[in-house]
Structures are given as structure tokens and as C-alpha cells.
Amino acid sequence: MRIEITGHQVDVTPALNDYVNNKLERIARHFDHHLDLRVILTVDKLEQRAEATVGVPGKSLFADASSPDMYAAIDMLADKLDRIVIKHKEKLTDHHRGTSAANLGSID
């Protein structure tokens, strides 16, 4: 997984960089292939904001979170992104068990 972290109006310190990498490692567990993840950390007066875009094959998934504390915003972002990725994977899997409507109505 490749994570690109940028900061708007905030310097991305090594501690912040490590925290984002550790929190977003669980996103990579859901996929077997390579992921591109772009994270933008922003500070607006009293609001700290974290945004992320995950490039999955055929689609781009986006999540954002804001909080008075940057670390709390990153935590909320990781939770939201985890839910979005799980929902995306559920849409990709076929939940039908091979039964069709024609097979259900026939009596031999």
C-alpha cells in the first residue's frame, strides 16, 4: 500500500506521518492487491480536518472527518474509511447461492 500524506496549513511531522500510517494499515488488510491512498490534513482555525481517497480498481473511495484534535480526526477517518471499504467489497461479492427463480417453482 502506498500512502501519500500532504498537509494544508499544517506541517506533517514524522509523528503525524507514523500515526496516519499505523491507523490506515488496516485498510490494506481488506485487499490482496496494491492500493493507492492519498491523505490530506488541513487546519482551519479551530477545526482539524483529515481527508482520504483510496484508489481501488474501477473506483475511487473518499472519506473525510473533522475534529478539534488532529489525532481524533485521523481516528474517525480511519473508521469511516474502513466501513466504506467493507461496504465496497460487499457490493463486489455475489451473494446468490446458485438458485434461480425457475428452480424454485418446479415440482417433479
Read off the pTM.
0.79
The C-alpha atoms of residue 80 and residue 11 are separated, in whole angstroms, by: 24
Domain extent listing, the chain: 2-91
- CATH code for the part of the protein at 2-91: 3.30.160.100
If residue 62 lies in a helix (H) or strand (E), which one and from where to where?
Answer: strand 59-67
pLDDT tops 80 at residue 77: yes
Q: What single letter denotes the amino acid at residue 25?
A: E
37-69 confidence digits (pLDDT tens): 999 999 988 899 999 999 887 889 999 999 999
